[in-house]
Structure 1
Amino acid sequence: MKIVVIGGTGLVGSQVVRNLTDHGHEAVAAAPQTGVNTLTGEGLPEVLEGAQVVVDLSNSPSFAEEDVTSFFRTSTTNLLEAEAAAGVGHHVILSIVGTDRIDSGYMRAKVVQEDLVKASGAGWSIVRSTQFFEFLSSIADSGTVDGVAHVAPVRFQPIASSDVARFVARTAAGTPLNGTIEIAGPDVVGFDEIVREHLAAKGDPREVRADAEATYFGARLQDKDLVPHGEALLGEVGYDQWRAAQA
């Protein structure tokens, strides 16, 4: 089966391509550096020729609400139109656990993307994931003021990007869900606690302060915003295993 992975050269995308290839599929990594641009439509007809599935892992270079909303609206619309013309029967996107309850511009833009996919009239699957272990350092950086990292003391269930890629690849190789699944890591932890542990493991001397006013994608958090509500598929890799693999 030919499966085109938009954003297939990135952190998750490259692993999705590898997973699909290992299972005998023709997985094509599509990105601006390979001549495929979803914002302009460049290269889409060519790369989608003969494809049965498209996995969209693209992301906006800017997280400002107007920019990211425009990105997802334009990119998704161009993709869906090109897929309809090419006869693609399954569109898969990676979204975020909490998208519909975290009040931030980025999350509202992801809802726009999800709604476009749901309304497309073709087969679709949405995989909502919790945050990746790989972004713990950047989370600390974004919350750092005067050398102190401010992180909300809420529940958190991070996941390894390798597990995300495995779930996305499995979804792409299956029949359309015409629905949404949620995925998360195996363990629920304190958000501030794991950021503190992560910085300590890296030898980063910053203090991590539990701060109920700290924001995430520009939004204040409720205790359950970053964990799945209801049933979720759980990854196999916990933080300690992931950290050991990085070393």
Structure 2
Amino acid sequence: MWSQITEWPVITKISGLGSILVFIGTLVAFIRKNQIITTVTSTKIEQLFFSKEKKLYVKLFKFFMNFIFSVLCSCLLIVFLYEIKISSSIVYWILWGAVISYIILLYISYFKLEIFNRLIPKTYNLMVVFIIFIFHIACLFSVIPGFLVSTLLESQLSINFNEIEHLLSAILIVFLSIIFVNFCFVALTIQTATQLLKRYGKYSEESFYIKTQENIKWYIYYPIDSEYFLLGNELHIEEATVFRTEKRSDILLEKIYLLRLLKNGEDSIEYYI
């Protein structure tokens, strides 16, 4: 019996389970070695001293956690939508809700808001945008689970355990589809959220700098290697005319100032850490 089971094509396809376990073990070891959890929860001043590789690790880890969370939610949604017997007509409405809300968010993110401000008082703008964004996420991540469930219900497919090979193959295909779609949706959601934060954030940008005894500001750009940092005499590296390098240990001995520029382009907030 077991020899026959191991010959199923679907079992052959997922026989790489050992490879998956090796990957998970490698990932856990990587997270422990690079202290990803500690890194993710670090402050902005701590992140200033991260290498480009470490910053990339943080972004990838955050994306991976959001992706895992979205896949789990999609699986729960499939069970929920199956229990309420969702119909294809409702799925189409959900799809249109996701599309229309995304178009509205694109308009808010990239264009002037004359029409939006005329329809909604400015004091309620942020609240309305937040509601639209939540509605968009709910619709976006409900489309594929809803489509799968409505297709299953309307086709009146029955689960036949006598054909367990085809059943497992179908489950594997559905799961892989959910993984691919959620990967794309998470990337889209992060991009949309980033643009909205740029639109409604209080500050246009922020930067760290140190002062010399002559009260000259040297802005800290990024680490050149594990020991030295690149500094310049202007807020933006493209506008700097003088550069210098400074040891990490020497910078930490100085007062490090944080400059935050308000969106009006004139005012700024400065304080030292």
**TM class, shorter-length:** under 0.3
Greater helix content: 2
By relative contact order (CA 8 Å, sep 6+), the higher-ranking structure is 1
Whichever of the two has the greater Rg, that structure is 2
TM-score (norm 2): 0.20
Greater strand content: 1
